[in-house]
Amino acid sequence: MLILKDVKRTFNPGKPNEVRALRGVNLEIADGEMLAIMGASGSGKSTLLHILGCLDDGFDGEYSLSGKSVHALSRRELAEIRNSELGVVLQNFGLIENMSVADNIAVPSYIGRGTDKELNKKIAALAEKLGIADKLKTDVSELSGGQKQRVAIARALIKSPKIILADEPTGALDRENSRQIVAILSELNAEGYTVVIVTHDPGVAQKCHRTVNISDGVIA
Ligand SMILES: Nc1ncnc2c1ncn2[C@@H]1O[C@H](COP(=O)(O)OP(=O)(O)O)[C@@H](O)[C@H]1O
Ligand SMILES: [Mg+2]
């Protein structure tokens, strides 16, 4: 369960370039849910997803993740909970282009290639599941957008999280690849993962259980 209470995020506070990206977000996400977050460009979607993903703790208000208040956690505890609970798929993939698919998937494990049998087995299983098994040794720079998104999802899954947060996972993809990526996320949700998708595509939101709309940093 993820609970946000009156979450605010201001960039460059007090400066001429101050941006109040989130102005008091209240949101509860239940275990096993598949939620779409929709909103115009600049409305605060990525800011919200980064906070949900524990990638940004510079917010005001309360964020409780699986019963723990994120602000109350030490750096170490935060890193631990981020690793064990959350798999984040960043906007525009967030992959390291000049590294192989297998090494990209391994990044959250902080373990170099070829040293850990268990890790390699897991990478192989995830690659199989996501249809990129034949690409493991290929550099990410040589992949199509749809393939890159599959790698990003595999990387998000490597630490066996409970919650998958995806920022515009179909934003850079054509129709058929978008359909396939949403089908993968739906399948993961059916397996028990909580799935949160930021999107501006109503067709993607339609595949989710619930949609919330964010506008000017608040949920409508
Ligand atoms: N690191 C940052 N520094 C300053 N402003 C930012 C930063 N990140 C986002 N913003 C601003 O916050 C607002 C919300 O951005 P964002 O959450 O990325 O919107 P969305 O993902 O909905 O397009 C925008 O005005 C954006 O320019
Ligand atoms: Mg965004």
The residue whose CA is least distant from atom 26 of ligand 1 is: 42
Which pLDDT score is estimated for 80?
87
Is pLDDT larger for residue 197 or for residue 119? 197
Residues with CB under 6 A from ligand 1: 11-12, 19, 21, 39, 41-47
Please compute the mean of the pLDDT values over residues 150-154 and round it to a whole number.
Answer: 96
User: Which protein residues have their CB within 5 A of the ion that is ligand 2?
Assistant: 45-46
Spacing, Cα 197 to ligand 2 middle (Å): 11
The residue whose CA is least distant from atom 3 of ligand 1 is: 11
Just give the CATH number of 2-219.
Answer: 3.40.50.300
Beta-sheet pairing, 68-69 with 60-65: antiparallel
How is residue 1 written in tokens?
């369960």
Can you tell me the distance from the alpha carbon of 198 to that of 112, in angstroms, rounded to the nearest whole number? Answer: 31
Spacing, Cα 125 to ligand 2 middle (Å): 30
The band of 110, judged by pLDDT with boundaries at 50, 70 and 90, is low
pLDDT for 116-143, tens place per residue?
788 899 999 999 999 999 999 999 999 9
Alpha-carbon distances of 58 from 50, 90, 104, rounded to whole Å: 10, 18, 27
Ligand 1 atom at minimum distance from 49 CA: 17
The domains of the chain are located at 2-219
